[in-house]
Amino acid sequence: MGVCGEYLWLAHQDVSMPHDQDVEGDTAEIASEFECLQCGKIVTADTHPGECSDCDGEFQNRAKSLE
């Protein structure tokens, strides 16, 4: 592969960050919605709320997919 071919190969490589690490600006002061995966309770918080106060279930940030 010549220099041009190597450049094209490198230019088409996926260099994006994994979805759970995407950052678009400073999010320190942005509240997020979290949903309990067990009972469905939704809370708004600046940081991960920990366990659900209703059922002790785990919260998931609603902005992230459940894949």
Domains identified in the chain, total number: 1
Q: Is residue 11 part of a domain?
A: no
Residue 21 falls within a domain, yes or no? Answer: no
Residue 8 included in any domain = no
Token representation of residue 58: 């785990």
CATH code of 44's domain: 2.20.28
For residue 46, being part of any structural domain is answered with yes
Whole-prediction pTM value? 0.55
Query: What is the domain extent for residue 53?
Result: 30-67
Series of mean pLDDT values for 10-residue runs along the chain (67 residues): 50 51 59 94 94 95 79
pLDDT of residue 64: 80
Instruction: Note whether residue 3 is domain-resident.
Output: no
- Give the pLDDT score at 52: 96
Q: Rounded to whole angstroms, how far apart are CA atoms 62 and 66?
A: 9
Q: How far is CA 14 from CA 22, 47, 55, in A?
A: 14, 30, 41
